[in-house]
Structure 1
């Protein structure tokens, strides 16, 4: 039996594939090397994975129904899916909204269709996002909270994924779990996310623009913790025709001023910060209520930002030869 991981050359996806291979699993990885950011980073993530004989890579677009059908036919032994492929980025959804619907909505639908046609499938795990909490003011965010006021198209597409999955579990007997990730960071992270942006700007002496006049807080989640949580949930399917959603976060809201000071310390340089007015597509604060996740799976995050940020900076320097 094997595990299908979409977005296998992505940040979270490549780490999940490595963890699965490390415990002896057979993995089929899918990615289309989207040009949203430099694919060179994606090729570099993928390179060590391809050296493992238990890993099969398929270059394909998850929204392509014909490619998905061929994948399902060629790998009938897939019994679990970890669907992580998506078009990320909140602000970019204002620039190219069509790709978000194509990848995140149509792509998710295609994966659901693939899942229901695999005869031995026992669990469909997929990436949602903390962005679905949108305009909620109550903190920390709990899975029982309303998620019907998205403040970005990206958030709307991820919420649509949850609703489509709910209907497929009801109609076709799928067992599925959605993972609401909170600001995942760490080695091999995306260059469009704040850790990379902060590290690069501080190293180069350029200003860091902080929206909402710098009054921002985020629940930073270290990649090793996220992978551990993803696998713990993957290993415990909910049973037939059940759809669950869980938060995976660092369980704390970090002031970005504190985060930037940690980057300054790790890099040995002083940051230049430029406050900016609020961006309506930005959530001003995020924090995960992980009580349900901990109770169901015994999972809790282990790596605080005081440890995670220096680890990221070490990798960032090595990767960029700084």
Structure 2
């Protein structure tokens, strides 16, 4: 009976494929391969998600990605990876549009959104000698090479599995999956911690900006990448981590701007946060000695920053925000001391 239902569903999905060359069969096999890479093998679920995908656009963007990969230049490889992220975004978008959402579908969508954003906008990209492709510290060279071969061999399901493998490599590098799945709740707790760290007395809390904050998934990606950069212990990565922390924190003053009509002192707090973030991202002086100190604008913030790293990995969200806020405040004070 189950096989019969699957057959009928598949017929409905592909019934128009003969009328116009919409590449539905190829697109379906790619999607199936991606889900199988994640261990999702319920064909009814896959067909339900696929029914909302624009298969012609999906296939053509992936075809363009393959063509770019085949050029084997740094620019074309990077653009090809971005195009993969663009095409596959239809999958979580389709999941989100399902009438009946379960805890499992919500989690899958959150994870896919995070991983595809990393493909579209990698914070780090390294390409060398046509053989090494690294995004956000993850080497995906072999998976990309294998995916190119499978596409050219018209093994579309296996091609999808290779793309799924790329995403899984990124997934395995996540320091804290909870932040990806519960991104908004986590970010609002971090906001509370940041305000405690900068000694804010406005009384504004995370719940006050819940309806105004946007880009929480991007904030999680920024914080994740900053933590990974800090763990390398390399001075240039530490500098970059402060920049990326600032990029993530920028969403807080933006949320306050959106809420300023309903929250007293929101505009004042937004201005203060922007000044602190600017000081964080533009240090007047910097010195780092691994395991010893991290001196920015004459203030040693080593303890705060590396406690924040541990907090992120352990899911201590409030203290993560507190340590970041405290570090920012010290950097800001140090800047003004140097200027006076």
Q: What's the TM-score once normalised by structure 1's chain length?
A: 0.25
- Name whichever structure is richer in helix by fraction: 2
Q: Which has the higher contact order (CA 8 A, sep 6+)?
A: 1
Report which of the two has the higher share of strand.
1
